[in-house]
Structure 1
Amino acid sequence: MRSLLRPLQSRVLASPRTASQSAHRRLQSSLAACPSCHTPFRTHIPACTSCWSIHPLPPNMTHHDLLDVPYEPNPFHVDPRRLKAQFRKAQAQCHPDSWASKSPKQLDLAHTLSSRINEAYQCLLDPLARAEYILKRNGVVMSETDQTDDMELLEKVMDANEAIAMMGPEDADQISELRSKNQDDMKRVSDVLEGLIREQRWQEAKGEAIRLRYLQGIERSYRKWQEEQT
């Protein structure tokens, strides 16, 4: 269990390389104003509460654009408070409850938009899902079968599983300490991942995202253990 008590070694970033492509430009919604009454939309959501018209999203609308979250200079960097505020603002514009008395077509569109907003919010809120989304947009796809060759991390996973299997209610404080240390490791890996994405080092970023996936698995196991003791 010694591997659980020592922090994972942070990966040291090499010198940044010149990006081979120009910086990603944020998409500007073509629906800047309601096509029915020409009132400016309050968000990128094409739902107008002035004339109660609602429209489909453009097919290439990204999660970042949908919630008005900056993509540049680093799409991985997200302010959780701003994200939550933008999420609430967007949902208020198209929540199905607000469109319940409208036509079936309008209500269906409201449900579709609301679901899409929820999807974008959950993706950008979670560091791993956010990293996978950004990597996919840049041609690097993660799969469920991707594994790490980091022996230190694999040892940590095995030790965590062993600790959870052996410990009882009297070991709650020790589990809390181990969980806290694992959360520190998650933060360190997320910081490295943020730097790699900023520098557009996509394959290296994928490697760190895989490491984060393992650490999130440990976090879920610790959380489940604690919930079962209450």
Structure 2
Amino acid sequence: MNYFELFGLNPQFELDSQLLSETYRGLQMQFHPDKFAAHPERERLQAVQTAAFINDAYTKLKQPLNRAEYLLSLQGVALNAEQQTLKDSLFLMQQMEWREQLEELPEADDIFSAMQSFEQELQQASSDYYAELAQQLSAADWQAAADTVRKLKFMTKLHAELERLEDAQQDF
């Protein structure tokens, strides 16, 4: 049983997050290991394994990027980021520009405004990539979707680096 089947959902990128959460709570209540405390050891072990499977499924499906990666894995597309590089030269150039911008932020006259502007730029680019990803997955364009997931993984790392920089600035 795959994660979508567990939650009674169609295997697709767009999903009802409220329904996902409600189904998760229902499954957790039904299969929580505490409910099996008085049962034989085998049933207790099965309950623990089922609860872990439910937790893994929920964690994977609730985050769009993880959900997209899981959808691709269901199609046999493995995202081996270390072995597969992007061939999109425009994105690679943009990637270098964003890295340079991030490195130059601490020298800005108004660092907080510069960080806010950079954050907005990254948010817009991420939103655009998520829209592109939704279209690619809907059209079953698995390889293009895999490349877009790789781009979004880069964007996620860049967001995290910006957050670390913001945190460091607030310590001063």
TM-score (norm: length of structure 1)? 0.64
What is the deviation of 1:213? 1.0
Q: Percent identity?
A: 22
Bigger helix share: 2
Report which of the two structures shows the higher radius of gyration computed on alpha carbons. Answer: 1
Task: Name 1:99's counterpart in structure 2.
Answer: 36
Trace 1:6-85 onto structure 2 (pairs within 5 A). Answer: 61-71=1-11, 75-85=12-22
> 5+ residue gaps in structure 2?
none
What residue is the counterpart of 1:215 in the other structure?
Answer: 155
In structure 2, the CA distance between the partners of 1:176 and 1:197, relative to structure 1 (3 Å rule), is same
User: Does the Cα contact within 8 Å between 2:36 and 2:43 map onto a contact in 1?
Assistant: yes
Which of structure 1's runs of 4+ aligned residues deviate more than 6 A?
none
- The total of aligned residue pairs comes to 165
What is the aligned-residue RMSD (CA, Å)?
A: 2.2
Is the Cα–Cα contact under 8 Å of residues 160 and 218 in structure 1 kept in the other structure? no
Q: What's the counterpart of residue 13 of structure 1?
A: none
Residues 66 and 160 (structure 1 numbering): CA distance in 2 closer, same or farther, change over 3 Å? farther
Q: How far 1:167 sits from its partner (Å)?
A: 5.8
Q: In structure 2, what is the equivalent of residue 129 of structure 1?
A: 66
Q: What is the alpha-carbon distance in structure 2 between the residues aligned to residue 62 and residue 98 of structure 1?
A: 24
How far apart are residue 208 of structure 1 and its match? 1.0
Alignment gaps of 5+ in structure 1: 1-60
| Structure 2 counterpart SS, 1:141 | coil
Report the Cα distance in structure 2 between the residues aligned to 1:109 and 1:212, rounded to whole angstroms. Answer: 36
Q: What is the TM-score normalised by the length of structure 2?
A: 0.83
Give distance in 1, aligned partners of 2:98 and 2:113: 19
SS at match of 1:68: coil
Counterparts in 2 of 1:163 and 1:78: CA distance versus 1, 3 Å: farther
Q: Relative to structure 1, is the Cα distance of residues 103 and 144 closer, same or farther in structure 2, using a 3 angstrom cutoff?
A: same
Give the structure 2 partner of residue 15 of structure 1.
none
